[in-house]
């Protein structure tokens, strides 16, 4: 979420071209290095900056952003490259730059602090003012260089903060205490003994439906974010209650987003969010975590409808990730920027004449009509391609038009490739990589494409080689080495990906790795006093508050992912400790779940698994065998949100170590055989796919 939505004409103020780089030049983060040439005396977060603030009794100016953030670039150009503004910053503050991708712990603390001052959600760039003890006493997001659009100019803000810090310490203290009380409230949930029942799911679905847009899909009026966990929850509700309305809401959003400008109709993949309510004009950066989650919800849409468009979106998005966001050794980069050549979206938008020059007049006319291209444009005089005008066409008509225009799209993509590309954020983040590994594996399950499995396994091998050491999970990988203490979502996301790899391959090693990562996670993040997992490990640096949250951000909460991992491990191993920890975790966040359905959607999805108990599907057979693969295809092409799948060899030796879920499962007459178990009861064995289908 940006800190500022209206891009007015930027004010060009004096800059200093020639100066020695600041301390950020030695940092690994691409975002921090972007600011190494600023005239601001930036420090990275660390003891040097904190000690200097204490020694000189100066407030800390904390600026948090990320490499692909458009409004971060705007504020950097307008303010941090301005010599006069930099002079004010250097004179009165200790200036600290933080990459929120590297330090989501700091970002979480200070975003929630900003909400106290703003009375609403924060965003990036985040601009916070701290005491030398890391305590926030004022802040905001984007500030312009001069007053504009009801925002104070940044110099005015700086002078006001210094005045308050020097001469009104009592007021500063009051603000600090107010923020700390808020952090304690949101970052330390109180466990509840109230019952865990379907009512929580029913109420959550009802609440989501109340602010769902019935025309374009999505939540609220705009800007709209393609947030996936609430959609997952609605699909689960539809499956559980057979209420078609919940399914219809999700399908509406998926169809509209796939037609809107938030989707890149030439290159595949989704942009960060839509600035309007109909998914037309995007904020153009593309994030790995968005696309990982959207691949999976579109796969579920395909499983439920078998619509070709949903499959196309999945295939095109994964091709985009392969082409633009994949490291030569298989890992995935974090993002692609919104800007190129200093302008937001310029790489992605078109004028009619440009399309004519590539396609010729006749084809261009048809293309422009279908993709909403006009002379006046829909974005700063140019056009974001979209298919919203054709979203109401009959499916057959859409398919026909698409077949005619697919060659045109390929020609335009080739032409676009000749433009200056947006910068790529080459951070390799463990949690985001885990999400994309899971997305590739999910696509492999659905479509059976071997390249998807290969991509997932290569990325997973990279993570295990470089991001894990003796059970410790690192946040990032740079230069073939893990860096920075990992956070809860790093360990949880990796464990989830390992379980997905186990289901996709039956390689026990993946399961053992998942168990090892999870057990280390519980040792280092679990709150032994109250339950639930802290966001940071027990050997992390001391910060203002050790946060514990079950609320989703742009990605599902770490605790929600942990809950699902624990429940899946219990299915395979039947080790009660995993189930008990998951149940305890739900009780820790019980009150949060009840009062914040949207923010707790991922946790509610895990609760749905817990309350339903999964279908545990065991196939006794050999991978690659036609009937075995037919069984697996039958399972994976159905929408089955609560299921665990295990393939075991019929020829395994008696007494050989095997998982509890496999115990007693044998083949019938030497044929591949399937069992469906639930509530500790298994079906009779079946040897035909259609009979398995009837059991699901």
pLDDT (tens digit, 9 = 90+) per residue, 366-424?
999 999 999 999 999 999 999 998 766 676 777 777 778 999 999 999 999 999 999 99
How far is Cα 609 from Cα 468, in angstroms, rounded to an integer? Answer: 29
Per-residue tokens: 600:
């707790």
When pLDDT is cut at 50, 70 and 90, the band that residue 280 belongs to is very high
Which element (helix H / strand E) includes 675? strand 673-678
Whether the pTM exceeds 0.75: the reply is: yes
How far is the C-alpha of 604 from the C-alpha of 208, rounded, in Å? Answer: 12
Task: Say whether pLDDT at 607 is over 50.
Answer: yes
Residue 294: pLDDT over 90: yes
pLDDT at residue 397 in the model: 72
Stronger pLDDT, 597 or 398, i.e. the higher one: 597
Checking if the pLDDT of 522 tops 90, the result is yes
DSSP secondary structure letter of residue 616: E
71: alpha, beta or left, given left = phi > 0 and alpha = psi -120 to 50? alpha
Residue 119, pLDDT score:
79
- What is the rounded distance in angstroms from the CA atom of residue 272 to the CA atom of residue 131? 33
pLDDT of residue 18: 55
Average pLDDT of the chain is: 94
Closest CA to 599 of 560, 565, 545: 560
- Mean pLDDT, residues 27-31: 95
Query: Taking a C-beta distance cutoff of 8 angstroms, is the pair 400, 348 a contact?
Result: no
pLDDT for 299 equals 98
Task: Tally Cβ neighbours within 10 Å of residue 508.
Answer: 12
Q: Give the pLDDT score at 325.
A: 98
Q: What are the strands, taking DSSP E only, across 470-550?
A: 472-478, 481-485
Which of the four pLDDT bands, split at 50, 70 and 90, describes residue 656? low
Predicted confidence at residue 10, as pLDDT, reads 31
DSSP-assigned states of every residue in 76-140? IIIIITBHHHHHHHHHH-EEEEEETTT-HHHHHHHHHHHHHHHSS---BSEEEEE-TTS-EEEEE
Report how far residue 399's alpha carbon sits from residue 141's, in angstroms, rounded to the nearest whole number: 44
Q: Give the model's pLDDT for residue 332.
A: 98
Quote the CA–CA distance of 2 and 121 in Å, as a whole number. Answer: 10
Angle between helical axes of 229-241 and 244-259 (0-180°, round to 10): 150
- What is residue 658's predicted lDDT score, i.e. its pLDDT? 82
Q: Which among 498, 672, 667 is positioned nearest to 572, based on CA atoms?
A: 498
pLDDT for residue 654 is more than 80: no
Residue 149 binned pLDDT confidence (cut-offs 50, 70, 90): confident
State the pLDDT at residue 2: 38
**pLDDT of 478-509, one tens digit each?**
999 999 999 999 999 999 999 999 999 999 99
pLDDT tens figures, 316-349: 999 999 999 999 999 999 999 999 988 999 999 9
**Residue 5 banded pLDDT, cuts 50, 70, 90:** very low
Query: Residues of the chain with pLDDT > 70: what percent?
Result: 96
Q: Is the pLDDT of residue 655 over 70?
A: no
Whether the Cβ atoms of residue 74 and residue 3 lie closer than 8 Å to each other: no
Q: In the numeric block, which tokens belong to residue 281?
A: 């004009």
Range in 51-55, 184-188, 515-519, 554-558 with the lowest mean pLDDT:
184-188
């Amino acid at each position: 979420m940006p800190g500022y939505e209206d891009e007015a004409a930027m004010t060009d103020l004096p800059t200093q071209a020639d100066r020695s780089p600041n301390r950020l030049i030695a940092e690994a983060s691409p975002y921090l290095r972007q600011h190494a040439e600023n005239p601001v005396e930036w420090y990275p977060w660390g003891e040097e900056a904190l000690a200097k603030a204490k020694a000189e009794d100066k407030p800390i100016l904390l600026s948090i952003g990320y490499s692909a953030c458009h409004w971060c670039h705007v504020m950097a150009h307008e303010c941090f490259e301005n010599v006069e503004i930099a002079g004010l910053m250097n004179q009165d503050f200790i200036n600290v730059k933080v990459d929120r991708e590297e330090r989501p712990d700091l970002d979480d603390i200070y975003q929630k602090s900003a909400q106290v001052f703003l009375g609403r959600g924060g965003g990036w760039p985040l601009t916070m003012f701290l005491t030398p003890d890391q305590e926030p006493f004022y802040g905001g997001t984007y500030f312009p260089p001069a007053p504009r659009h009801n925002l104070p100019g940044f110099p005015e803000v700086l002078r006001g903060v210094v005045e308050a810090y020097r001469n009104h310490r009592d007021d500063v203290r009051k603000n600090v205490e107010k923020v700390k009380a808020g952090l304690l409230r949101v970052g330390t949930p109180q466990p509840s003994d109230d019952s865990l029942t379907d009512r929580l799911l029913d109420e959550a679905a009802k609440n989501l439906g109340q602010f769902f847009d019935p025309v374009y899909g999505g939540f609220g009026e705009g800007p709209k974010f393609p947030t996936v966990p609430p959609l997952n929850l609605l699909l689960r509700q539809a499956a559980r209650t057979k209420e078609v309305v919940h399914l219809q809401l999700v399908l509406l959003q998926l169809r509209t987003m796939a037609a809107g400008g938030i989707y890149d109709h030439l290159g595949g993949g989704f942009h960060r969010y839509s600035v309007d309510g109909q998914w037309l004009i995007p904020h153009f950066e593309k994030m790995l975590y968005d696309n990982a989650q959207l691949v999976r919800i579109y796969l579920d849409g395909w499983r439920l409808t078998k619509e070709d468009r949903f499959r196309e979106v999945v295939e095109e998005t994964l091709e985009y990730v392969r082409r633009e966001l994949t490291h030569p050794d298989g890992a995935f980069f974090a993002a692609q920027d919104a800007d190129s050549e200093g302008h937001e979206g310029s790489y992605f938008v078109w004028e009619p004449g440009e399309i004519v020059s590539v396609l010729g007049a006749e084809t261009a006319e048809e293309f422009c009509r279908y993709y909403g291209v006009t002379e006046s444009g829909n974005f700063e005089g140019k056009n974001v391609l979209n298919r919203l005008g054709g979203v109401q066409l009959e499916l057959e008509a859409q398919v026909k038009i698409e077949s005619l225009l697919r060659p045109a799209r390929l020609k335009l993509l080739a032409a676009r490739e000749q433009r200056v590309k947006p910068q790529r954020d080459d951070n390799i983040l463990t949690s985001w990589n885990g999400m994309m590994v899971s997305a590739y594996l999910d696509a492999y399950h659905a479509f059976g494409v071997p390249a998807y499995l290969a991509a997932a396994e290569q990325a997973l091998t990279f993570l295990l080689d470089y991001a894990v050491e003796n059970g410790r999970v690192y946040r990032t990988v740079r230069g073939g080495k893990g860096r920075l203490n990992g956070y809860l979502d790093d360990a949880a996301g990796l464990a989830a990906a390992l379980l997905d790899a186990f289901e996709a391959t039956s390689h026990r090693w993946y399961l053992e790795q998942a168990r090892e990562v999870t057990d280390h996670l519980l040792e280092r993040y679990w709150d032994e006093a109250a339950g639930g997992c802290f966001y940071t490990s027990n050997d992390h640096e001391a910060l203002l508050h050790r946060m514990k949250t079950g609320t989703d951000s742009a990605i599902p909460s770490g605790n929600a992912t942990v809950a699902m991992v624990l429940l899946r491990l219990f299915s395979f191993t039947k080790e009660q400790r995993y189930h008990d920890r998951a149940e305890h975790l739900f009780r820790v966040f019980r009150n949060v779940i009840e009062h914040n359905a949207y923010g707790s959607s991922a946790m509610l999805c895990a609760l749905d698994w817990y309350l339903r108990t999964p279908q545990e599907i065991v196939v006794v057979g050999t991978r690659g065998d036609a009937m075995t693969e037919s069984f697996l295809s039958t399972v994976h092409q159905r929408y089955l949100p609560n299921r665990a799948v295990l393939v075991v060899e019929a020829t395994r030796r008696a007494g050989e170590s095997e998982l509890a879920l496999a115990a007693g499962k044998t083949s019938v007459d030497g044929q591949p055989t399937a069992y469906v178990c639930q509530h500790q009861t298994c079906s009779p064995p079946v040897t035909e796919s259609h009979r398995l289908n009837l059991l699901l």
